[in-house]
Structure 1
Amino acid sequence: MRYGENHRRQTHTRIVENASYGLRQRGAKGLSVVDLMKLAGLTHGGFYNHFDSRAALVSEAIAFAMDQTTERWKKLTNDNANGKRFEALVADYLSPRHRDNTKHGCALPALAADVARSSRNERLTLASKLEGMIDVLIELLPDEAPQQARQIATGAIATLVGSIVLSRAVGAGKLSDGILDAGRMTAGGRTRKPQRRCDKS
C-alpha cells in the first residue's frame, strides 16, 4: 500500500517528536536507531526513508525540543505583566514541576553535555536554537543596553540550566529544592541595581 506525501510528513513529525521526548529522558547517547523508531511505534526498517543518519534525527529532535521551550517561554511571558515577565519565566523554569518532568522539559539540561561530544551538526543545531532562546530573554530587558541585555540573558540561561542539572543530579529533596531556590534568586535578581552608599560625615 502506497502512502501520500501528507502521510509521510505526519510520520516524520511523529518520529521527531517522540525521539525528542526519549532523548530528554535518556540522553543523546542512550538510544539507538531501533530505540528511536520504537518510540514512534515503528520498526527501524523505514528509518532511511526519513533521515540520512541517526545524527540527522537527533538534530531534528533537539530543534523540536528547544522550539517547544521557546514557545512556552513566549506564551508564559505574554500572560504576565511587563514588569514581571522575566521573573515569571525564571520561576517557571526553576520549579519542581520542571525538574521532575524530563520528558517534556527543556532540552538543554538533558542534552547539552551529550551534544558537546556529538556531531558538528548536532552542536550547530543546539547553538542556533540557543541563540533564539537568548533572543527571547533579551526582549524582556527593554531598559538595558543591547550588549548588557545579551550578557544578562546569556548568564540567566546558564544559571537556569545549571540549576536544573544539579537539582536533578541530587534527586528531589531538601538540597534539590535549595538549588532551585538559589537559582531563582541569582537569575531573578538581574534587575537589582547596586545601592549607593552615603557616607555620613
Structure 2
Amino acid sequence: MRYVEDHRRQTHDRIVENASYGLRQKGAEGLSVVDLMKLAGLTHGGFYNHFESRAALVSEAIAFAMDQTTERWKKLANGKADRERYEALIADYLSPRHRDNPKHGCALPTLAVDVARSSPSAQQALASKLEKMIDALVRLLPGEPPGQARQIATGAIATMVGSIVLSRAVGAGKLSDRILDAGRRTAGGRIRKPQRKTTKATRCEKS
C-alpha cells in the first residue's frame, strides 16, 4: 500500500511539474487535459485519479512554477550583500535568457492575463504565491521601512513582469533589449542609494 501511495504521489507531482512547463510556454488556455497529460507521458484516462478538474491541475501547476521562481531568487541572493542581492535578482529576471526561455521562467508574464479570465481557484493560487514572491523581495530590502519595502517590492515585480511581457511581444531584437534595459533601470532605481556619511572634515572643507 505504501508503494502504491508513493507511486501515485510521484505521478501526481510529475503531472504538475510538466504541466507547469507547458502552461508557461503556451498559456493557460492553450492546452487541453489530453495535452497536459501527454506532457507527462500519460494518457488522459487517469486524469481524474489525480485531479478534480482541469482548473485544479492548472492551479497546482501555477503554484509550482511560482515556487520555482521564489527558490531561484533565494539562491541568487545567497552570499551577496543587501543591495547586490536585489540588483542581481533584477538583472537575472530582466535578462535575454529569461525572455527567451518562458518554459522554465516565471509564470506571471505568460499566465497572469489568462488567470485573470480563469477560475477563482487559479486566481487564488496566483495571488497566494505572488504574496510570497513579494515577501521574498522585501527580505532583500532590510534598509527600508517595512511599508516602503513592500511598496518597492510590489512595484518592482509589476515592472519586471510587464517588461518581460513587452520584450517577448516585440520579438528578440533592439527594441526588446531596450525594454529589458529600461525595466532594469526602473526596477533598480526604486530603492534609495546609501547616503554617504558627512564627516567633520568634509563639513570643514565645504565651509
* Most deviating of 143-152 and 115-124: 143-152
Count of residues paired in the alignment: 192
Does structure 1 residue 27 correspond to structure 2 residue 20?
A: no
Deviation string, structure 1 residues 8-43 (Cα, Å, up to 9, x no partner): 011000000000000000000000000000000000
Q: State the Cα distance separating 1:170 from its structure 2 match.
A: 0.2
CA RMSD of aligned residues (A): 1.1
* 1:84 counterpart letter in structure 2: E
- TM-score w.r.t. length of structure 1: 0.93
Please say if residues 82 and 142 of structure 2, whose CA atoms lie closer than 8 Å, have aligned partners that are also in contact.
no
Q: Distance in 1 between matches of 2:104 and 2:141?
A: 27
Deviation at 1:79, TM superposition (A): 3.7
Q: Aligned residue for 2:147?
A: 147
Query: Which residue does 1:114 correspond to in 2?
Result: 114
What residue number does 2:11 align with? Answer: 11
TM-score of the pair, normalised by structure 2? 0.91
| 2:39 is the counterpart of 1:39 | yes
Provide the residue aligned with 1:71 in structure 2.
71
Distance between the aligned counterparts of 2:108 and 2:83, measured in 1?
26
Report SS of the residue matched to 1:63.
helix
Distance in 1 (CA, whole Å) between partners of 2:175 and 2:182 is 10
Whole-angstrom CA distance in 2 between matches of 1:145 and 1:192: 11
1:124-143 equivalence runs, <5 A: 124-143=124-143
Identity %: 82
Q: Secondary structure at the match of 2:104?
A: coil
CA distance in 2, matches of 1:60, 1:79: 31
DSSP-derived class of the 2:153 partner: helix
Unaligned runs of 5+ in 1: 196-201
Give the structure 2 partner of residue 184 of structure 1. Answer: 184
Task: Point out 4+ residue stretches in structure 1 off by more than 3 angstroms.
Answer: none
Cα offset, 1:190, TM superposition: 1.5
Unmatched 5+ residue regions in structure 2? 196-207
Secondary structure, aligned partner of 2:161: helix
CA contact (8 A) 2:82 2:141 kept: no
3-state secondary structure, aligned to 1:103: helix
Is 1:86 matched up with 2:112?
no
Equivalent-residue separation in structure 2 for 1:51 and 1:161 (angstroms): 29
Distance in 1 between residues matched to 2:112 and 2:82, nearest whole Å: 30
Higher Cα Rg, which structure: 2
Cα-to-partner distance string for 1:121-174 (whole Å, 9 max, x where unaligned): 000000000000000111111111111111000000000000000000000000
Listed one character per residue, the Cα deviations across residues 70-97 of structure 1 (whole Å, up to 9, x for unaligned) are 0000110114222311000000000000
Alpha-carbon distance in 1 for matches of 2:172, 2:80: 28
